[in-house]
């Protein structure tokens, strides 16, 4: 009897110690000791987290946890019965019996494998609609270099000192993040999104002093520009006209927008969700437009194979399937390098890693330049219940640099006020450099087929939970399977936010 009571007591201690306990750590490759990105850490049905690019994860279970299962493409699954915080977990790569591969098509070259991929596109990526439970994150990082030289100003307060102080308070680096979880319905051509939860990390003002200076600049313009004037704006040989009344109305609206009626706030929140839904649909469609067989896709390994060298690098085992590993190197006209993982039995691409090796576009004219210099990512697919390939993980990183080195002249003209037609004048020299990198991540953790005609019946849903935060909020996603935030997201905060 005493032994039985002791066992029950020990069980209760175990339950209470596991429920609510933090489970965290880092997942590494057993041999290379490199992080295993986007591994699944599951503690219950559809509950868990996905490791970030550093292989890190942390979860706070909302129920009793008996075991934790760690799995990743190309690795043996690891099941834990004992766990806690700050664990280091080593995943063992799946081994392959190479003799099985050599029995079939062992003489195929890398180029022949690529040709067979294209021949089997229709069978492997048939486009039957599916229902995908997903998590999505967009990360934006911007670096700004900004210099303004005031050459002439007829408004005394609008001078070089004011410009210098404003620019000194503009952050050199800034970022924003958007995340959502929900269901994606559709195929590779058409998609509809049902968002369940969405969050945005966004700084409307990075510090109080910048807000004060912006208000000061706005008030100077309101006091000095007449309603019935128009502004003639010229940079070099390019010019335009803007009615001053339109600018003043916008500035007045900013100044009087301190108190918002509850009905107006509700409409704004509704509009915010609608805008988020529209943005989300566009971004996800962009990712699906980036499939390797699409005509307008910059990744042209398959559509223009003559621009690349394909080298069969070996074989691997992905979820029990034998795959060819093919390295891709550019010839003189190729823009990318990469690696392909192609199923040895049906020639479906199970993974594609790509990275540009040269700028994709360059433009420079009259002191304005634009360079698209980053396009990289990975596409990972797995066989669905219908035997064709569905996306498991899609990632895209885009980067561009914009420069402006031009003079700017703004002249206020007014034909109504007696006296001189020219009211005010401002001459500036602009020197601007903006570097922006955007990362898109789409992770699927559950897939199911859809019935014929079901996609057409799906309607937009706008009543999802949507929040805008000025600092990272770990509680918002509690109980939802997400990709673990990286350090930049966890440390993200609005320095001007009040506690």
The predicted structure's pLDDT at residue 72: 85
Instruction: Tell me if residue 72 falls in helix, strand or coil.
Output: coil
pLDDT at 95 over 90: no
pLDDT per residue over 283-317, tens digit each? 999 999 999 999 888 999 999 999 999 999 988 87
DSSP letter string over 155-176? STTSSHHHHHHHHHTS-SEEEE
Report d(CA 499, CA 476) in Å as an integer. 18
CA distances from 423 to 292, 413, 461 (A): 58, 6, 52
Strand 349-356, strand 321-330: pairing: unpaired
Which CATH number describes the domain made up of 2-94?
2.60.40.1120
Domain ranges (residues) in the chain: 2-94, 125-157+167-205+227-234+270-298+360-490
Mean pLDDT of 319-336: 90
pLDDT for 73 equals: 75
Of 205-214, 265-274, 318-327, which range is least confident?
205-214
The answer to whether 178 and 198 have CB atoms below 8 angstroms apart is yes
Instruction: Kindly indicate the confidence band of residue 8, based on its pLDDT and cuts at 50, 70 and 90.
Output: very low
Q: What pLDDT sits at residue 498?
A: 34
What pLDDT score does 305 carry? Answer: 94
Give the model's confidence band at 184: pLDDT under 50 very low, under 70 low, under 90 confident, else very high.
very high
pLDDT tens, residue by residue, 187-204:
999 999 999 999 998 765
> What is d(CA 324, CA 286) in angstroms, rounded to the nearest whole number?
28
pLDDT at 205: 53
What's the whole-number mean pLDDT along residues 226-231? 80
pLDDT of residue 12: 40
Report pLDDT for 291: 93
Mean pLDDT of the 170-182 span: 88
Of 18-22, 269-273, 282-286, 334-338, give the lowest mean pLDDT range.
Answer: 18-22
In the numeric block, which tokens belong to residue 93?
Answer: 């790569």
Percentage of the chain lying above the pLDDT 90 cut: 33
**Which one has a higher pLDDT value, 407 or 423?**
407
8 Å CB contact between 158 and 424: no
Predicted pLDDT at 196:
93
Determine which of 193-202, 428-437, 482-491 has the lowest per-residue pLDDT on average.
482-491
Q: Please compute Rg for the chain using Cα positions.
A: 28
Structure tokens that stand for 228 in this block:
């019935």
Q: Which two tokens stand for residue 401?
A: 């640099």
Q: Is 0.85 surpassed by the pTM of this model?
A: no
Residue 25 scores a pLDDT above 50: yes
Higher pLDDT residue, 491 or 375? 375
Predicted pLDDT at 253: 66
Residue 471 has pLDDT above 50, yes or no: yes
Task: Tell me the C-alpha distance between 455 and 134, whole Å.
Answer: 17
């Amino acid at each position: 009897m005493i032994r039985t009571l002791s066992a029950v007591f020990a069980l209760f201690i175990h339950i209470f110690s596991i429920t609510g306990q933090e489970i965290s750590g880092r997942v590494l490759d057993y041999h290379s000791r490199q992080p295993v990105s986007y591994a699944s850490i599951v503690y219950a049905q559809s509950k868990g987290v996905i490791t970030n690019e550093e292989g890190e994860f942390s979860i706070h279970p909302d129920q009793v946890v008996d075991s934790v299962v760690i799995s990743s493409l190309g690795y043996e699954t690891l099941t834990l019965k004992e766990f806690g915080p700050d664990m280091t977990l080593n995943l063992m790569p799946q081994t392959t019996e190479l003799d099985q591969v050599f029995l079939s098509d062992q003489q195929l070259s890398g180029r022949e494998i690529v040709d067979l991929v294209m021949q089997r596109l229709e069978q492997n990526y048939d486009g039957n609609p599916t229902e995908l439970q997903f998590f999505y994150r967009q990360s934006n990082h911007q670096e700004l270099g900004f210099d303004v030289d005031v050459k002439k100003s007829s408004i005394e307060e609008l001078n070089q000192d004011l410009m210098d102080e404003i620019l000194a308070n503009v952050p050199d680096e800034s970022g924003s993040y958007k995340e959502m979880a929900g269901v994606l319905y559709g195929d590779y051509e058409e998609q509809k999104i049902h968002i369940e939860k969405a969050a945005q990390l966004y700084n409307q003002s990075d510090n109080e002093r910048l807000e004060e200076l912006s208000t000061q600049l706005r008030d100077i313009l309101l006091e000095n520009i007449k309603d019935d004037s128009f502004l003639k704006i010229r940079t070099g040989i390019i010019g335009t006209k803007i009615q001053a009344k339109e600018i003043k109305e916008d500035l007045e609206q900013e100044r009087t927008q301190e108190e918002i009626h509850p009905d107006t706030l509700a409409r704004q929140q509704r509009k915010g969700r609608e805008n988020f839904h529209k943005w989300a649909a566009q971004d996800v469609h962009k990712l699906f437009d980036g499939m390797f067989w699409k005509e307008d896709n910059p990744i042209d390994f398959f559509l223009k194979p003559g621009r690349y060298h394909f080298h069969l690098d070996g074989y691997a085992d992905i979820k029990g399937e034998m795959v060819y590993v093919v390295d891709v190197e550019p010839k003189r006209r190729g823009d990318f390098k990469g690696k392909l993982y192609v199923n040895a039995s049906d020639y479906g691409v199970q993974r594609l890693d790509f990275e540009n090796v040269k700028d994709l576009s360059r433009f420079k004219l009259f002191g304005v330049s634009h360079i698209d210099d980053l396009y990289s990512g990975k596409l990972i697919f797995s066989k669905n219940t219908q035997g064709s390939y569905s996306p498991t993980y899609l990632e895209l990183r885009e980067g561009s640099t914009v420069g402006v080195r031009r003079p700017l002249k703004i002249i206020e003209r007014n034909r109504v006020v007696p006296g001189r037609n020219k009211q005010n004048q401002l001459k500036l020299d602009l020197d601007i450099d903006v570097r922006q990198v955007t990362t898109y991540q789409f992770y699927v953790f559950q897939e199911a087929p859809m019935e014929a005609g079901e996609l057409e019946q799906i309607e937009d849903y706008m009543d999802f939970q949507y929040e805008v935060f000025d600092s990272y909020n770990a509680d918002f996603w509690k109980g939802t399977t997400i990709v673990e935030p990286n350090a930049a997201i966890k440390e993200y905060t609005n320095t001007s936010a009040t506690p």
